[in-house]
Amino acid sequence: MSRGDTRICGAPPADPDESAVQNAADVVDACFGQATEFFVNLVFGTEVQVPLGNPFPEDSMLWDGPLVVLWAIIAAIGFTIYFKAVQFRGFGAALEAVRGKWTRKDDPGEVTHFQALTAAVSGTVGLGNIAGVAAAISLGGPGATFWMVLAGLFGMCTKFVECTLGVRYRTIDENGEVRGGPFRYLPIAFRRLGRLPVAIITGVFAISVMLFGIIGGGMFQANQTYGAVQSAGATIDEMQLSDEEREALEAEGISVYELEGGPNTFEFLESELTALIFGIIFAALVALVIIGGIKRIGSATAKIVPIMAAIYVLACLVVILANITNIGDALSAIFVGAFSPEGITGGVIGVIIIGVQRAAFSNEAGIGSAPIAHSAVKTRRPVSEGFVASLEPFIDTVVVCTMTALVIIFAWPADYEASIGEGHDNPVGLTANAFDTFLPGFSVLLAICVALFAFSTLITWSYYGIQAWRHLFGKSEVGDTIFRLIVCVMIVVGCIVSFANIIDFADSALFLCIFINVIGLVVLAPVVKREMEQYFADRKAGRLMEDPEYIPGPEDTAAVTTWELRGEPGPSVGTGYKDADDVSGPATNPVDTVSGDTEAKS
């Protein structure tokens, strides 16, 4: 930077022809971009090359990409093999649990299996399916859909493992309130390393959860909600044009606002000032709600999520059925693009990375977020909630993401063709344009669905983020309020920065979560397997309504807990295990080698 150059973060000099808000937004985006570049290099900078070896050419690679992505893939495949494809064998057991077939009224916990599922789904089914899919196939072509679906199928097993552990190692206080999730089971998984390493590892994990909650759960949602509103406004204006004028716009690849003398009722949505105002209003609405806890989230999402999902899935089905004769060509494009991509950076491996990243962002398998919500379930058998949780990636990625991809491929809008291999600056707008091709004006209804999806996701992730914040700074009203204010401020920022920076930063935080969390899952997998085998045996024998036998875990080995060091008893909670008072299992004396905190959440 030369002397006298006053640019901040490399942002372009202030343009006197632009508004002060636009120039300020450019500076904010540039600074956020620099932070994103640093974080992306930190997380994805370590790359691994795995050569295919003979008889393949010398430069042929089985893998040539980031270590963290490879680790997520290996873990998901490894879990599927180790648990003998339980995500498919246990599908019936999952549906039984969701219906409450084996639930007792006196089961410990706060919410039903169905409420826990909908609370977690509210943080997965949403913009990851609408904007995330569009981002995937604009970067990786139709073939990215294949790898998203495959990642979703294997991710079902990862979700099964982490949510089983979330329930097994939860704590329930004397008031019946629950705390669980990775901040309970990770200290047990890493306990052999010693208290300081455990504190560092779980601390880094907590920071990554907070970052993803703020960026992926906050900024991303706000950014794409506003993008959906912009797209809806443009659609309303385009509906005032004749068919010939609309065809001309599509042929030339320009927006309605670039048409001289064209309708411009909603052109004001294109300004940064409007984006800023929208962000402030959206943040204010979120602020009114995020003072609630898991009970309120479970109650609200149990009503909202099915309605949102039904509207969106119904629209997808209408488009797919209307184009049923083209389904063969669409599936062919997906399969061929998965193994023979054209114009995609990195070739097949590049498409795999894109597909896995978008699948992980969408279904959150392995992040450690879902176990927080699922740990509140009313059950005496932890693995029952593992079965329920495995349905999430199936619903989210295998079903809903595939539907979205088919709609876009059927439509093949002009802006999709132009963005393949490069990415789209407003992915939700790409999806909206695809729907409008078959259902004129649907982008207006889609904007409403997107807003509801985003709102419920923001509420859910604010709760997850609070748990991470409390792990680092303890529980206090002042601390909780500070975190919530940060979330609200970043919602506003999310409306004025570029989508590319947001998604890159969110991906980095997400895969840092996965890297740490999955190591813990691998260590504790044998415990989950014994829980699973016991459940299947009791289900076959008709004993699922009885209290299960306690299954020992690594927490039962001799160790000094922080409660023992302080001369305090561990928390007393109801477990459902037979003879629970005679064992030192997690439910009667949970091991927390870092904090020993058993306070209930808000």
324-335 pLDDT, tens digit each: 999 999 999 999
Mean pLDDT score of the chain, rounded to an integer?
82
pLDDT tens-digit series, residues 400-412: 899 999 999 998 8
Beta-strand runs (E) in 421-475: none
pLDDT tens-digit series, residues 505-534: 999 999 999 999 999 999 999 999 999 999
With beta carbons less than 8 A apart as the criterion, state whether 180 and 171 touch.
yes
CA-based end-to-end distance of the chain: 49
- Residue 488 to residue 508: CA distance in whole angstroms: 21
> HSE on the CB side for 418, CA within 13 Å?
13
In the predicted model, is pLDDT for residue 165 greater than 90? yes
Please give the model's pTM, rounded to 2 decimal places: 0.85
The DSSP H or E segment spanning 526 is helix 499-541
Query: What radius of gyration, in Å, describes the C-alpha atoms of the chain?
Result: 24
Helix, strand or coil for residue 137? helix
- Residue 372 to residue 209: CA distance in whole angstroms: 12
Give percent helix, percent strand, percent coil of the chain, each to the nearest 5: 70, 5, 30
Q: At 149, is the pLDDT very low, low, confident or very high (cuts 50, 70, 90)?
A: very high
pLDDT tens-digit series, residues 330-372: 999 999 888 877 756 667 888 888 889 888 888 888 999 888 8
Q: What is the pLDDT of residue 348?
A: 83
Count of other CB atoms within 10 angstroms of residue 602: 14
With beta carbons less than 8 A apart as the criterion, state whether 576 and 547 touch.
yes
For the CA atoms of 343, 346, 348, 353, the dihedral, rounded to the nearest 10 degrees, stands at -120
In the predicted model, is pLDDT for residue 18 greater than 90? no
What residue has token string 């691998």? 522
Beta-strand runs (E) in 25-167: 47-51, 61-66
In the predicted model, is pLDDT for residue 552 greater than 90? no
Q: Which of 520, 574, 519, 584 is nearest to 551 (CA)?
A: 584
What residue has token string 């649907």? 442
Give the list of residues 6+ apart from residue 430 with CB closer than 8 angstroms, or none.
Answer: 134, 138, 408, 413, 415, 416, 419, 424
CATH number assigned to the domain with residue range 53-243+271-541, chosen from the 4 options 1.20.1740.10, 3.40.50.1100, 3.40.109.10, 2.70.98.70: 1.20.1740.10
